[in-house]
Amino acid sequence: MYGIPTRSDAANQSVGLFYRGLQDIEIYVEDVDAAALYTELLTRATGGRVNIKKVISLAGREKVVEMCQQYDEEFPALFIIDGDLDLLHSEREGPINRLYQHRLYCLENYLFCQNASAELLRDHSGRLLKDQAIDLLEWDDFITNITPTLLELFKVYAVSWKALEEDRITTVSRSYHTMCSQKKKPSRWDLCSVKVQEVIDGINTQVLEVITQEQYQEIYDSVTNIVGTLSTPLCAVSGKDYLLKALREYLAMKGASYSYDDGFKFKLARYCDIEPLAELSGAILHTINEGVYLQAS
């Protein structure tokens, strides 16, 4: 049976060589099929000052970190990985020369943005002015509605991730829609706090078979304190698996129906605020203009 050809690890690692005459820097990422998304975001974030022709996926975080550690070429390069659940424990890779770790859960968190969402309402309508789209969106109400439920879920995910290091259970990879209730007029899926609580209770039962209630509370309190240091609480929630899916359903409720696919993400990438990308933009410019980058802890 035929499928889409895939490159070997060695081939992935040598892709950059073919583009060195065409771009200013090699960007390596863990995400598969995110090249166009990264290129759009990084080009916007750097104000078009950097020529990026090919963002290279190494198909996995460990592979990105490993190649970063082995990289000894003079050509500018930056290796980018997600924050993931490490973020909720203030655990970071490195510091390693040329390695950049997002200070939010994943790349898609940058796309979860009021401005981008309003623009998608405008694109779908074709009649709304910017102010009208902002008013229709009611972004603050949306954030207020989803934050407590999703944040509690991810705190519990983080506790289980820490407590069950030797035998981890399914957490972030759980389907968002299994924790939703289907609605009509318009057709959509709304996050259901009852179903989320059932997931939380199930995870807690498994965790408390391994650690004591006191140990659980200690980890939970630590996670809560760390969440409070993030630029926004929802930085702790997976944009890819949860926030953008919630956003897609919310836009449907507002009359703008989009498929949850790469096209949806790319539309958001064209409009999202680039201020949260300032540190990453600085890392790219530093690498090109000054030399090897080392991210602050």
Say whether both 242 and 281 belong to one domain.
Answer: no
% of the chain exceeding 90 in pLDDT? 87
Within a domain: 3: no
Within a domain: 215: yes
Within a domain: 45: yes
Contacts 24+ apart (CB under 8 A), 7-14: 9/58, 9/59, 9/63, 12/56, 12/57, 12/58, 12/59, 12/63, 13/58, 13/67
Say whether both 137 and 72 belong to one domain.
Answer: no
Say whether both 243 and 137 belong to one domain.
Answer: yes
Both structure tokens of 235: 């930085």
Tally of domains in the chain: 2
Q: Please name the residues in contact with 92: beta carbons below 8 A apart, sequence gap of 6 or more.
A: 86, 101, 297
- Residue 188, classed as helix, strand or coil, is strand
Question: Could you count the other beta carbons within 10 Å of the beta carbon of residue 12?
Answer: 17
The pLDDT tens digits for 77-135 are 999 999 999 999 999 998 999 999 999 999 999 999 999 999 999 999 999 999 999 99
Band of the pLDDT at 46, cuts 50, 70, 90? Answer: very high
What separation, in Å, do the N-terminal and C-terminal C-alpha atoms of the chain show? 47
Q: What average pLDDT does this structure show over 213-239?
A: 98
Say whether both 241 and 125 belong to one domain.
Answer: yes
Band of the pLDDT at 12, cuts 50, 70, 90? Answer: low
Of 83, 88, 80, 81, residue with least CA distance to 103: 83
Q: Is the pLDDT of residue 1 over 50?
A: no
Q: Specify the pTM.
A: 0.93
The overall average pLDDT reported for the chain is: 94
Domain interval for residue 164 = 113-271
Say whether both 132 and 56 belong to one domain.
Answer: no
Say whether both 67 and 149 belong to one domain.
Answer: no
Q: Is the pLDDT of residue 240 over 70?
A: yes
Q: Is the pLDDT of residue 167 over 90?
A: no
Say whether both 66 and 189 belong to one domain.
Answer: no
Q: Is the pLDDT of residue 4 over 60?
A: no
Q: What average pLDDT does this structure show over 207-222?
A: 98
The pLDDT tens digits for 175-203 are 999 999 998 888 889 999 999 999 999 99
Say what angle helices 262-271 and 114-125 make with each other, to 10 degrees: 110
Within a domain: 158: yes
pLDDT of residue 187: 82
Q: Is the pLDDT of residue 277 over 60?
A: yes
The backbone torsions φ and ψ at residue 189, rounded to the nearest 5 degrees and listed phi first, read -120, 120
Q: Is the pLDDT of residue 3 over 50?
A: no
Within a domain: 65: yes
Say whether both 85 and 165 belong to one domain.
Answer: no
Within a domain: 18: yes
User: Which of residues 92 and 8 earns the better pLDDT score?
Assistant: 92
pLDDT of residue 76: 98
Say whether both 183 and 169 belong to one domain.
Answer: yes
Say whether both 229 and 120 belong to one domain.
Answer: yes
Question: Which of 10-14, 26-30, 262-266, 290-294 has the weakest average pLDDT?
Answer: 10-14
Asked if residues 50 and 22 have their Cβ atoms less than 8 Å apart, the reply is no
